[in-house]
Amino acid sequence: MEIAHPYLLFLGDVPDALAAKTGLGIVDWRREWCLGQYRLDGCKADAGLPDMAPKQAAEAGAKTMIIGAVNAGGVLPEHWVDSIVAALEAGLDVASGLHMRLADVPEIRDAAARTGRHLRDVRHSEIAFATGKGTRRTGRRLLAMGTDCSVGKKYTALALEKGMRDAGFDADFRATGQTGIFISGRGVSLDAVVADFISGAAEWISPAAEPDHWDVIEGQGSLFHPSFAGVTLGLLHGSQPDAFVVCHEPTRTTMRGVDTPLPTIQQVIDMTIALGRLTNPEIRCVGICVNTAALSEPDARRELTEIERAYELPTTDPVRFGCASIVQRIAREFPSA
């Protein structure tokens, strides 16, 4: 699935910034793709973009209106329908990361047919994936793994892509979730792929490439999370990573949404290597990425120093402090062919 940009970000009338995290994430990483935001009365989120109606955005060159807001259950509120129809009638495609399909709403389906515009439901791939085969393929791959879900795997992968490119690597971010797809313009939302085909979809996301090319792959879930470990394992087997980083949020004691204790970083390293060797016997950990958003800068630096000393691996908050140490480790571990 490919999403045409520039974007108009639709934020609806969400009550806070968290409910607009999809749109705000796009702005964080692809500001140059974003022309404006479309907000309804009462919206409490602000992406810092010019406010535009769909017609105005289309005249300015926008190609797609992204539904950059979420709500409980991933269902489209009825009072947003008119805004989506207006975007189609203005000549924009509309893309959504909600669980429901846009075309399930008759007014939206009819407007798309009438205007010839595309509806992009990024959680629902248009591709029929094969099952994973585990065959070794050329090119190199780096995967973000986590001690939990929602610890920063997407932002880590994006920061590593940028850091590697700045260092002269041939590297591309590969999206495996809806926000990542909007940020990269392509990808597959693995949490909506039928279980038997998750590893095959991961193989499709990161195909054979030139020997020195790196695919930096967005991680999903955690091998230790009782709700999401299945997706994580399929992604690990299919992406066949040469290298991985462990992403961690240091203030948590239990995994998000459940009472399961948080695994240690060492447990994640050991389990990832043990399971990842099925499709890449040479898999290795090259660093630890810590989400220190909840810590002051002195506390964050202290935490990073303690973890680096304990695990003898380069450790950083890649968004807050950059990822040069991990990129340097990758360059040493994987010299150019």
35, 183, 190, 283 from 205: Cα distances, Å: 28, 15, 10, 18
Written as one letter, the residue type at 306 is: E
In the chain, CATH 3.40.50.300 covers 140-333
CATH of region 140-333: 3.40.50.300
Query: Looking at residue 1, what is its pLDDT?
Result: 62
Residue 241: pLDDT over 70 = yes
- 239 and 278 Cβ atoms separated by less than 8 Å: no
Residue 244 is classified by DSSP as: E
pLDDT average, residue stretch 204-218: 97
What mean pLDDT is predicted for residues 37-58? Answer: 97
Q: How far is CA 141 from CA 157, 229, 318, 334, in A?
A: 11, 20, 18, 11
Q: What share of the chain has pLDDT > 90, as a percent?
A: 86
For residues 8 and 178, the model is more confident at: 8
Where in the chain are all domains bearing CATH 3.40.50.720? 7-121
Q: In what order do the strands lie in the sheet with 284-290?
A: 170-174, 213-217, 140-146, 243-248, 284-290, 315-316
When pLDDT is averaged across residues 267-273 and rounded to a whole number, the result is: 98
CA–CA dist 283, 294 (Å, integer) = 31
Task: With a cut of 70, say whether residue 337 has pLDDT above it.
Answer: no
Q: By three-state DSSP, how is residue 230 classified? A: helix
Strand order across the 34-39 sheet = 34-39, 7-12, 64-67, 93-96, 119-121
Residue 82 near residue 27 (C-beta atoms within 8 A): no
As a whole number, mean pLDDT of residues 198-207 equals 96
pLDDT, tens digit (0-9, with 9 covering 90-100), for 21-31: 899 999 999 99
Q: Cα angle vertex 76, ends 52, 88, to 5°?
A: 45
- pLDDT confidence bin for 74, thresholds 50/70/90: low
Superfamily, domain 7-121? NAD(P)-binding Rossmann-like Domain (3.40.50.720)
Residue 70's pLDDT band (cuts 50, 70, 90): confident
pTM (predicted TM-score): 0.87
Average of pLDDT values for 313-335?
97
Give the lowest-confidence range in 67-76, 136-145, 271-280, 291-300.
Answer: 67-76
Mean pLDDT of the chain: 94
Tokens at 57, concatenated:
């955005």
Q: Are 222 and 149 in contact (CB under 8 A)?
A: yes
Residue 107 token pair: 């007014």
| Residue 98 confidence (pLDDT) above 90 | no
Is 189 within 8 Å of 97 (Cβ atoms)? yes
